[in-house]
A and B are shown apart, each in its own frame.
Chain A
Amino acid sequence: MEEYTLDIPVEPPKELRSLFIPIPPAYVEDVYKSDDFLILVGPQHPGSGHMRLIVRVKGDIIQEVIPDPGYVHRSIEKLAENRLYIQNIPLVERPAIMDAANFNLGYIRVIEEALDIEVPERAKYIRTMLAELCRVGTHLYDAAILAVFLGHTTGFMYPFGIRELICEALVRVTGARFTSSFIIPGGVRRDVDNSTLKWIYDMTLAMERRLKSFERIFIKNPTVIARLKDVGVLTKEEAIKYGVVGPFLRASGVEYDVRKIEPYEVYDELTWDIPVSDAGDGYHRFLVRVNEVAQSLSIVRQCIKQMPEGRVISEQIAENGEDIRGSFYDSLYDLVLPAGEYTTLTEGARGTIIYSIISDGESNVPYRVRIVTPGWLYLRGFMESMKGERLADLQAIYGSFGYFPPEADR
């Protein structure tokens, strides 16, 4: 069909100016003249998180999506430069509180790598267990958000119900439901007793039974498959080009998992696998994470089974190997990293977390802390995958990426 441009002066609505849109007025004018439609999704919108998406649609087809992030930018990198190394532990886990252990672990590993701190075996197992529990929790959270974006309220409730078990496990181990701040340089803050470990072991099995219900009602639901299949496809080449990370990269067929390629903690001592799919569409992005949940639960069980006895805090840090209580301040406040740049990769639930700390060798505050979160890395791929899809798919793709703006904005 041939298109005719209308040569009528079009005035973009005034409300766009007052709403403070970061795109130039010329762009808005161009959209209006070419008979497209500009939709602002978010930040106060039932189908968006803490960000705004400026969507240009032609009919029902998305032409371009411009992100407007930063609604949850809490200046973590600047604040980290002004606090003691040890005080940054709660700070670095705030980007994604449901994935706190992974964020915490990545930061601690930078310090340990710089100071060559040897971590006791038992502490490594506890850390791995916590990291995997948080991974399960985050995947469940994202599944719930995906469900509510597709209008499936039961699909929202079930994962959050199951997440209560994760929270309960974290409370029993660390004392907090989300922000555990439990991993410290040289180990963990407290030993975990055997009854708690047994509880967590049983919990993973009970959780698998509940996940079956979730599978029947949501994962295998035909309407869900219809909404997500062949939607927002990122091919392998595109995924690499846009630097997508984590399960979303694996859904596009790249076998990249930091836990495999650069194993840390005890991942190389356990048997597990990374799920990979070649489809690269929304449904398989979701399915990869569903399979990861099963793998993670198995890792948690292996951790509990193989956990050795012994100290949980390194001798280099504190004398008491069971509990840091009482000596937390004295052993940790004056950490000074040798000069240089230290970078670690950690596989968070949503992908690779990069911590890069630059120390000047004299201060007990870092000179520069660079945190690159998975959300920020795959934002570009997320935007690209929406081009050419329908407007209703925006939420489906959003959910399939599990995009969590606080994590991306930091």
Chain B
Amino acid sequence: MIDIFQILNYFFEIFSSDMMDIPLIAPIVDYLMQIPLLNILVALILWKPFFAVVIMPGLGVLTLYLLYIVWYERKLTARIQWRVGPLEVARPIRGAIQALADGIRYFFQEAIVHREAHRPYYVQLPILAFIPVLLPILFIPAGSAVGIYTPYSIQLIVTFIALIPITIVAIGWAANSRFAYIGSVREAFMYFAYEVPFIIAVISMIFLYGSGDAYIAVEKQSTIPGVLLNPIAFVVYIIAMLMATSRLPFEIPEADQEIAFGPFVEYSGILFGLVMVLAYEKLYIMTLLFTILFLGGWSGIYCPLLGDLNGPLWLFIKSVVVISILVIVRSIYARYRLDQALRIGWTSMLALSIVALIIGGAVGVWLS
């Protein structure tokens, strides 16, 4: 017994040494901290690395974000399209829980594994795909809250993002269907088309800030945000982001009218629910990075009541605003053809990214 208490105490020491300091809820936290056993839980939740990864901007708000963005996207599209969008499911809140209903339906629906599929991979890959999607959260700092601090955080995030398409290609292979095969090939093509300009754009920003450390990047943007320092990289990043997350006009690997959702054609039930949110989660991660690189990250008007929460909150709000603006392209554009998208990727975007690299270098020298 004493051993367990000692261990608990040891952990409690660790947790409470590095806790989020939020004046707004401080009285409640202080009260809860006096209750034995519960205090360790509170300490854990408010432990900065844990808070960053699990609560904000990590998994907790990610779920909220998913519910919000699916609803918001449908609502905005509907608004532009002269109609209403999801409504009757919860009329007083304008149908905001529509995504929840869809999620529940998917969760309880039969998940079919068809005969031709490679059964183990077919089932495992949607779950495996979450590893590269969620791992970057460990390294994304939000103010003082950060999962694992490293001076190479930006590079690490980019690395993990680059891993995601591999899982999608593997999903297409495991599904073993004609359309899944075509979709995988398209995904692989698109991967090369956007990844190179994307990485060069990020490198240009690393040049600019002189470091791959998110803290230094945000610090250097304290006067001028990155978007003004290197607008070319900004443009390249946005287009690459649309391509990477298969959003229109680059919704090519999952083009439903052409190849019937490509790699995901055979998925059903909860497995399809998992693969469908992949793109949204990828979008979230990429937008977090985008906010850090171009929009000054977590810096914003400091509200003393929120204390340490300021950083994560600002980062989250900025990202969600960026995504909310981005989803408008869905209702504006038709889909490009694969060769057209590849041409855009390999010619104009690559050229632009190299220009961005030069600007990045130049501004970087000037800043330092």
Q: Contact residues of A with B, CB < 8 Å?
A: 37, 39-40, 45-47, 60, 147-155, 157-158, 161, 217-218, 221, 223-224, 226-227, 390-395
Cβ contacts under 8 Å, A39 to chain B: 178-179, 182
A395 to B332, CA, bound (A): 19
Q: Write out, one digit per residue, whether chain B residues 256-280 have a CB within 8 A of any chain A CB (1) or not (0).
A: 1110100000000000000000000
Q: How many residues of B contact A (CB 8 A)?
A: 28
A388 to B244, CA, bound (A): 29
B255 on the interface (CB 8 Å rule)?
yes
**Nearest-CB residue, chain A, relative to B115:** A15
Cβ contacts under 8 Å, A161 to chain B: 81-83
Known A153-B81, A158-B82: A148·B339 in contact at CB below 8 Å:
no
Cβ contacts under 8 Å, B257 to chain A: 46-47, 148-151, 395
Whole-angstrom distance from the CB of B75 to the nearest CB of chain A? 14
A255 to B219, CA, bound (A): 68
Name 13 interchain pairs, CB-CB below 8 A, sorted by A: A40-B178, A46-B257, A47-B258, A47-B260, A151-B248, A151-B257, A154-B81, A157-B81, A161-B81, A161-B82, A221-B332, A223-B335, A391-B258
Q: Is the CB of A392 within 8 A of B77?
A: no
* Of A45, A150, A221, most B-chain CB atoms within 10 Å: A150
Q: Is the CB of A227 within 8 A of B338?
A: no
B119 on the interface (CB 8 Å rule)?
no
Q: Is the CB of B178 within 8 A of A223?
A: no
Q: How many A-B residue pairs have CB under 8 A?
A: 84
Beyond A47-B257, A392-B338: 15 further Cβ-contacts under 8 Å? A37-B178, A46-B260, A47-B256, A147-B334, A150-B335, A151-B248, A151-B251, A152-B333, A152-B334, A223-B335, A223-B336, A226-B336, A390-B338, A392-B255, A393-B337
Whole-angstrom distance from the CB of A188 to the nearest CB of chain B? 32
B211 on the interface (CB 8 Å rule)?
no
Q: Contact residues of B with A, CB < 8 Å?
A: 77, 80-83, 178-179, 182, 248-249, 251-252, 255-258, 260, 330-340
**Nearest-CB residue, chain A, relative to B81:** A157
Cβ contacts under 8 Å, A45 to chain B: 260
A392 to B339, CA, bound (A): 10
Which listed residue (A40, A157, A392) contacts B258, Cβ 8 A?
A392
Cβ contacts under 8 Å, B330 to chain A: 153
**Nearest-CB residue, chain A, relative to B333:** A223
The 4 closest A-B pairs by CB, nearest first: A47-B257, A151-B335, A157-B81, A150-B334
A153 to B83, CA, bound (A): 12
A153 to B260, CA, bound (A): 16
Cβ contacts under 8 Å, A158 to chain B: 81-82
Cβ contacts under 8 Å, A224 to chain B: 334
Q: Is the CB of A154 within 8 A of B332?
A: yes
Cβ contacts under 8 Å, B340 to chain A: 226-227
**Nearest-CB residue, chain A, relative to B340:** A226
Q: Is the CB of B339 within 8 A of A390?
A: yes
Whole-angstrom distance from the CB of A259 to the nearest CB of chain B? 32
**Nearest-CB residue, chain A, relative to B185:** A60
Cβ contacts under 8 Å, B80 to chain A: 154
Q: Is the CB of A153 within 8 A of B331?
A: yes
**Nearest-CB residue, chain A, relative to B189:** A60
Q: Is the CB of A227 within 8 A of B258?
A: no
Cβ contacts under 8 Å, A221 to chain B: 332-334
Cβ contacts under 8 Å, A154 to chain B: 77, 80-81, 331-332
Q: Is the CB of A151 within 8 A of B334?
A: yes
A395 to B335, CA, bound (A): 11
A220 to B248, CA, bound (A): 17
